[in-house]
Amino acid sequence: MHARRALVRRPGPKLADGLLTHLERQPVDVDLATRQWEGYVEALAAEGWEPVEVAPADDCPDAVFVEDTVVVYADLAVVTHPGAPERRPETDGTERALGELGYAVAHLDARTGATLDGGDVLKHDGTVWVGVGGRTNEAGVAALAALLEPRGARVLGVPTTKVLHLKSAVTALPDGTVVGYPPLVDDPDAWGSFLPVPEEGGSHVVVLDEETVLMATSAPRTAALLRQRGLRTVCVDISEFEKLEGCVTCLSVRLRHTP
């Protein structure tokens, strides 16, 4: 059995100052956020995922959203070039952590003007969809494709204009069905199998195994819908991160491959 690990990064003291694009700023309780983060990490561990903490980046308010710093495909870790310049210092700690775990590390060619956030990348069964919109550009899609296509991936850009990141709009269930909240999805027809869900928070699931997904407590109707489809749902409260346009996918990078 391959080791299953999950990269995570503790929220820092400046969390409440995180960047916002589509939401009005609300007060964020950093102490509550830290407790919620600990609950999230405990939920991963309880489901058999070993948490690996990336070194803190306390000067970067958004550093807890570790997913944006890297795209992992099999044994290759592609360090991103975030679209928000303020977030670029976040990648160093992630790169070090993955290097220590034995992953091959590659970088986008930033000279092309490529920007890429990991939250814009949705992977399933050899297909890699990349949201093109606020934080990731066409050059970022091309740069990622140049690294992943030699490894057999099919990389496709999809428009993302209504949310910060592609995975703020859609994620995939274990069988490849893409779930999303229709008002926030640019093109539901971009996926062969699309399941509309009744809540914005229901757009975000973390696949833990073939029968289990992690999701936010803010989407109880979606959780019920997924249970009707035979899935087990593990629900965690991440209300303080949702105020910052965060979701369950942003808070970890699941590592299914042992280098």
Which residues carry a binding-site annotation for substrate? 20, 62, 67-68, 87, 135, 244
H or E element that contains 38:
helix 30-46
Residue 236 contacts by C-beta under 8 Å, 6 or more apart in sequence? 36, 39, 40, 43, 214, 215, 216, 217, 248
Half-sphere exposure of 123 (CA within 13 A, CB side): 20
Per annotation, catalytic residue among 60, 235, 247, 250: 250
Q: What is the rounded distance in angstroms from the CA atom of residue 178 to the CA atom of residue 171?
A: 6
Instruction: Phi first, then psi: give them for residue 150, nearest 5 degrees.
Output: -65, -15
Q: How far is CA 191 from CA 161, 171, 186, 198, 212, in A?
A: 17, 11, 11, 18, 21
Annotation: binding site = 20, 62, 67-68, 87, 135, 244
Would residue 165 show up in a list of annotated catalytic residues for this protein?
A: yes
Per annotation, catalytic residue among 60, 81, 165, 204: 165
Q: Which residues are catalytic?
A: 165, 250
